[in-house]
Chain A
Amino acid sequence: MKIIVGQDLLSANASQAGENRVLFKNHRLAVINLISAPGSGKTALLEKTASLLKGKLKLGVVVGDLYTARDAERIERAGVTAVQINTEGVCHLTADMVARALQEVSLDQLNLLFIENVGNLVCPVSFDLGERAKVALLSVAEGSDKPAKYPGIFREAMATVISKVDLLPYTDFDLPACLEEIQQINGNQQFFITSAHSGQGLSQWCAWLEQLAAGKFNGNSIASRS
Chain B
Amino acid sequence: MRLWGDIAVNGCNGRAAVHELSLIQSLINMVVKSAIENNIKKVTKVQLVVGEYHGVLPESLEFAFGILTEGTVCAGSELAIEKSALLLKCRKCAHEFHPDGYLYTCPICTAVNAELVKGRELYVHYYEGE
Residues of A within 8 A of B (CB): 1-10, 12, 69, 72-73, 76, 81-92, 94, 97, 100-101, 104, 122-123, 126, 148, 151-152, 155, 183-188
Contact = CB atoms under 8 A, between A and B. Distances in A.
B109 interface: no
B123 A84 contact: no
Given A85-B6, A91-B18, A185-B104, 11 more contacts: A2-B128, A3-B128, A5-B34, A7-B30, A83-B2, A86-B6, A87-B8, A90-B8, A94-B8, A122-B19, A152-B55
Interface of B: 1-9, 11, 17-19, 22-23, 26-27, 30-31, 34-35, 38, 40, 48, 54-55, 102-105, 112-113, 121-130
Contacts of B2: 83-84, 101, 104
Given A6-B123, A184-B105, A90 B113 contact: no
B1 A69 contact: yes
5 contacts: A6-B125, A8-B122, A83-B2, A85-B6, A104-B2
Nearest to B124: A5
A191 B85 CA distance: 31
Contacts of A4: 125-126
